[in-house]
Amino acid sequence: MTIRNEDDTCEPDLLQDELIERMTFTVDKGQQLLRIDKYLHHLIGGNISRTKIRYAADAGNITVNGKPVKQNYKVRGGDVIDLIIPRPPSYDLIPENIPLNILYEDEDVIVINKDPYMVMHPGLGNPSGTLINALLWHFKDLPPKDGEPLRPGLVHRIDKGTSGVVVVAKSELALAHLAGQFYHKTTKRQYLALVWGDIKNDSGTISVNIGRHGREHRQFQAFPEGDFGKPAITHYRVLERFHYVTLVSCELETGRTHQIRVHMKHIGHTLFNDERYGGNKILKGTVYTRYKQFIENCFAIMPRQALHAATLGFVHPRTGREMYFECPLPDDFATVLEKWRKYFHGTLSQQEERSP
């Protein structure tokens, strides 16, 4: 039996969708006919149950020679099997009573408007206080599913310092279906970003590889030559211009870590107050007292990158119904945006008064 795992050749934390794994197997030519659920369960071992394999098949996440198959398909020698599956959670956390802004919830999914200062899941420097801790508390009194305690299933995430809408699976069925949708990029995601500078074009597409930074391990960078990193595509559209900054909407075709932040920096328009990528200083405009004070006030109101996950659309894993959620800008972002409107229009009025 020959096994080829595509994820072995990439950095596991390079992708935002690292929560989803693709495995590829080539069946030995001497393999006897065997149901694919039994074959995969035997091959992968304790990492995946037959129940999870069944859900993966039902979601269309198992293909043989490029075609989706059901769990009772019988593998034969030479078959090439692709399996898309959520990676099992590696956290073992204590539930914490942390308030959540819940937009929608049923037996399969929960949709959250994430606070900008909340981390999605535990990691170095963030052992507690995460969205996962909060969800474990929220789920603690719910009955087990598939014989196991209910655990939140992540299939995507947004950075700390980024606000907005996220969906979390509450069942294995939902986890499999949502994993397939995020992997195949059929979800609809739109972000709002305030960036430095006056973007030349009203719309555009950034198609540049993203990989981990060579020196700063917590940063990522663009690789325009495509010699490193992974393909990443961002579509942007200008919504409002304020001369020194621009409000844009961004739609993701891929989901790389820090994708919008890296892509916008690459085209010369770093996110406003994005400390990690140098947006927390004045990048456009003359540094004089009044303007400098205005910028510092904005930074104090919104001490984070100006990025908000505004919308999320997906197909409900059980009903097949299209779901769409929209989150308004949080108070800090909305306040800073209104300050820019007043500043920009006030500056225009002064210029008109000085004109002959």
Whole-angstrom distance, CA of residue 111 vs CA of residue 327: 11
Phi, psi for residue 239 in degrees, rounded to 5 = -105, -45
pLDDT digit string (tens) for 17-76? 478 888 999 999 988 899 999 999 988 876 678 888 999 999 999 999 999 999 999 999
Mean pLDDT of 261-271: 97
Secondary structure (3-state) at 39 = helix
Q: Summarize the confidence of residues 289-297 as an average pLDDT.
A: 94
Distance between CA 128 and CA 131 in Å, rounded? 9
Chain-centroid distance of CA 272 in Å reads 20
Domains assigned to the chain: 2-85 (3.10.290.10), 89-182 (3.30.2350.10), 189-309+333-346 (3.30.2350.10)
CB 164 within 8 Å of CB 191: yes
Alpha helices in the chain (DSSP H): 36-44, 50-58, 131-139, 172-183, 259-266, 289-301, 331-354
Residue 245 and residue 269 in contact, taking contact as beta carbons nearer than 8 Å: no
- Distance set, CA 201 to CA 65, 209, 323 (Å): 43, 21, 32
SS3 at position 49: coil
Q: Tell me the C-alpha distance between 98 and 95, whole Å.
A: 9
Residue 323 reports pLDDT greater than 90: yes
For residues 229 and 211, what is the distance between their CA atoms, to the nearest angstrom? 4
Percentage, residues of the chain above pLDDT 70? 88
* Whole-number pLDDT of residue 213: 85
Q: What is the pLDDT of residue 149?
A: 66
Comparing C-alpha atoms, which of 293, 252, 267 is closest to residue 195? 267
Residue 248 token pair: 């844009």
State CA 15 to chain mean position distance.
9
Low-confidence winner among 103-117, 142-156, 157-171, 261-275 (lowest mean pLDDT): 142-156
HSE-CB of 272 using CA atoms within 13 angstroms: 31
Q: How far apart are CA 304 and CA 310, in angstroms?
A: 16
Catalytic residues: 159
Whether the predicted model's global pTM rises above the 0.85 cut: yes
Q: 230 φ, ψ to 5°? A: -125, 150
CA distances from 169 to 112, 150, 196, 226, 316 (A): 11, 10, 36, 34, 11
